[in-house]
Every structure is written in structure tokens, then in C-alpha cells.
Amino acid sequence: MTGRPRPRRTRRPATADQAASLLDWRDSTHWSGQPKPCRYCGFPTHLRDSRRSPAHKTCAEDALAQQAADAADAYRKDTL
């Protein structure tokens, strides 16, 4: 079988905006009837993250965006 080779797709690292939008909070497992202090800000929340730790949606997404930015910075430093 002959044919043209497929062009390679390069995978770009996720930006902070893309990383934050990866969380899906619609699942009922992210809700608890008992409010507990958010692991990031300390204010009470009914929401739970993917590890069932109490976390506001915005707090968790901000933390994820910061982690992605830190990883991108570390990657850039290693490649220089």
C-alpha cells in the first residue's frame, strides 16, 4: 500500500486557560450535603474535587491553572 505519509501532529502544552476548562463539575459526586472548609481558601463549601476534598470550583480551577503555569515555566527552564 503506497500513499502520502500523514503529517505529524505536534502536541502543544496546555495553557492555563485550557487547563482550567478541563474540569467537569456537573457530576453529582462533586456535591456533598455537609459543608466543609475549602482546602484552598478555608470558606465553607458543599463542592468536592476529584479526590473528594472540599474545594470551590473557582479555587480548584485557579490552583490547576497555577500548576499548569508552573509546569510550563519549569519546562521552559529545562529546555534552555
Q: ∠ at Cα 68 (27, 22), nearest 5°?
A: 25
pLDDT in tens, 7-53: 555 545 455 455 445 678 888 989 999 999 999 999 999 999 888 99
pLDDT for position 20: 46
> Model-level pTM?
0.64
Q: How many residues does the chain have?
A: 80
pLDDT for position 42: 96
pLDDT for position 1: 53
54 has pLDDT over 70: yes
What are the Cα distances from residue 61, in Å, to 20, 27, 48?
A: 5, 16, 12
pLDDT for position 23: 74
